[in-house]
Amino acid sequence: MTTTLRAAILGTGAVAHLHAEALAELDGVTLVAAADPSEERVRDFNARHGVPAGYATLEELLASEDVDVVHVCTPPAGHAGQTRAAFDAGAHAIVEKPPALSLAEVDEMQQAADRAGRQFAVVFQQRTGTAAKHIRELLSSGELGRPLTAVCHTHWYRGSEYYDVPWRGTWESEGGGTTLSHGIHQIDLLAYLLGDWASVSGQLFRLDRDVETEDTSCGVVVFESGAVASVLTTVLAPRESSLIRIDTEHATIELEHLYGHNHASWKVTPARHIDAGQSAGWALPDIEVPSGHAALLGEVYAALLSGSDVPAVAAAPTRAIEIVAALYASAGRGAPVQRAELTDPKFRGGMRVPVTDLRPSR
Ligand SMILES: NC(=O)c1ccc[n+]([C@@H]2O[C@H](COP(=O)([O-])OP(=O)(O)OC[C@H]3O[C@@H](n4cnc5c(N)ncnc54)[C@H](O)[C@@H]3O)[C@@H](O)[C@H]2O)c1
């Protein structure tokens, strides 16, 4: 007998469309309902994606529908409570980045998933695609030697009007600034490639935008392998790009893209001492899957349908948020934060710290 999972989408704003479009291409899942307090938005969303039922709240949706999976596509301040409610109702949850506003919230979400025996998947879609998988395997197998230095830059552009949306730009509702909301994608991918981190130092700046949080940050992440990464995030870059560069003993890996990557976005340059025969084995696979929501949801639903745990591309919800939390904490105290220190509740409750304001007085 074939199983079809019944999915619902909570929050029918911008990112929800990527979820609906990806679900439409997948076997074994049907999108049965959506919920959003904006009646107009949920109506338009349902009409566009052929979703049969619309609700104003998650509570109404869960009371009326038998749902296997809830996609949490709401502003981040709601993620923790909504995800816990989905688990408590017996559904799996697929939660947009950032999964929550603090490490304590992510802990509670994971505990609720474990209690309910349900799966907790996060959407950091930069991890996905055949290129990232291949490069990760080359790094973890030792084929490229020890990773030494890395660059992780998010040069994005968000004009002042971007912050007109009420939930953006405040500690209360966004939880942090561009580091938590944008840089976290590349930071997550870097950590997916390089593994556990050891320490983070960082600084936060407000250079131009009229926000409570930061519009730019700089950090240094030291990984347990000994690799050292420079991490810069900004929403003030007229030419936008997302960059990762990793120099290992035997190769330089470069990725340049914007919001998603394919094989052409990656370049691996062997060191002079590597012979052509060895580096030929590093070539990306012939079959190409670009990064994106479709790739991530495809893997997550394959796991859910087979009763397996969340696959690596959607697991480990705390990894990126730990690095981001440590960057904020370091900026707050003016000194590096070691990974072991993050067990201290004072680092797990939220990101809010003073930001250095370098805007000309206006
Ligand atoms: N993975 C990505 O590439 C990506 C891209 C954009 C946004 N995001 C993330 O997705 C989330 C949503 O971002 P967005 O850009 O779609 O925001 P958005 O403002 O466009 O949409 C959010 C929607 O959630 C609705 N909403 C608010 N509270 C709700 C509630 N309690 N119940 C149900 N619906 C509610 C709003 O009415 C709105 O329609 C954020 O966490 C954001 O960081 C991820």
Mutate to test the pocket of ligand 1, among 10, 19, 21, 36 (most ligand atoms within 8 A of CB): 36
Compute the distance between CA of residue 267 and CA of residue 245 in angstroms, rounded to an integer: 9
Residue 19 alpha carbon to ligand 1 centre in Å: 11
E strand or H helix at 148: strand 147-157
Residue nearest to atom 39 of ligand 1 (CA): 13
With a 6 Å cutoff on the Cβ, whether 34 touches ligand 1 is no
Atom nearest to 293 CA in ligand 1: 1
User: In angstroms, how far is the first alpha carbon of the chain from the final one?
Assistant: 67
Ligand 1 midpoint to CA 166 (Å): 12
Residue nearest to atom 36 of ligand 1 (CA): 11
Q: Is the shortest distance between the CB of 164 and ligand 1 below 6 Å?
A: no
Nearest to 102 by CA among 345, 359, 361: 345
Torsion of CA 152, 185, 22, 69, to 10 degrees: 150
Map residue 318 onto helix, strand or coil: coil
Sign of CA dihedral 297, 298, 301, 303: negative
Burial string for 235-257 (b: 16+ CB within 10 Å, else e) reads bbbeeeebebbbbbebbebbbeb
| Cβ of 10 below 6 Å from ligand 1 | yes
Atom of ligand 1 nearest to the CA of 167: 19
**Alpha helices in 145-213, H assignment, sequence order:** 171-174, 178, 184-194
Q: Which of 311, 314, 316, 262 is nearest to 289 (CA)?
A: 262
CA 216–ligand 1 middle distance (angstroms):
22
Q: What is the CA radius of gyration of the chain?
A: 20
Query: What is the CATH topology of the domain spanning 5-123?
Result: Rossmann fold (3.40.50)
How do residues 294-339 score in pLDDT, each as one tens digit?
Answer: 999 999 999 999 999 999 999 999 999 999 999 999 999 999 999 9
Q: How far is CA 287 from CA 130, 175, 255, 263, 284, in A?
A: 8, 39, 18, 10, 8
* Residue 330 CA from chain centroid, whole number: 21
Distance 97 CA to ligand 1 centre (A): 10
Burial class (CB in 10 A: 0-12, 13-18, 19+), 204: buried
Are β-strands 266-270 and 197-206 bridged in parallel, bridged antiparallel, or unpaired?
unpaired
CA of 326 to the centre of ligand 1 (A): 25
Q: What are phi and psi of 155, to 5 degrees?
A: -105, 90
Atom of ligand 1 nearest to the CA of 82: 31
What does the alpha-carbon distance between residue 80 and residue 106 come to, in Å, rounded to a whole number?
7
Contact 79, 19 (CB under 8 A): no
> Cα separation of 97 and 74, whole Å?
10
Instruction: Tell me the fold of 129-288+320-357.
Output: Dihydrodipicolinate Reductase; domain 2 (3.30.360)
Are 31 and 20 a contacting pair, CB within 8 Å?
A: yes
- Per 3-state DSSP, the chain is made up of helix, strand and coil in percentages (nearest 5) of 40, 25, 35
User: Which residues of the chain have a pLDDT value below 70?
Assistant: 1-2, 362
Cβ(174) – ligand 1 distance below 6 Å: no
pLDDT, position 361: 79
Residues 6+ apart with CB under 8 A from 61: 8, 10, 33, 34, 35, 53, 55, 67
Residue boundaries of the structural domains of the chain: 5-123, 129-288+320-357
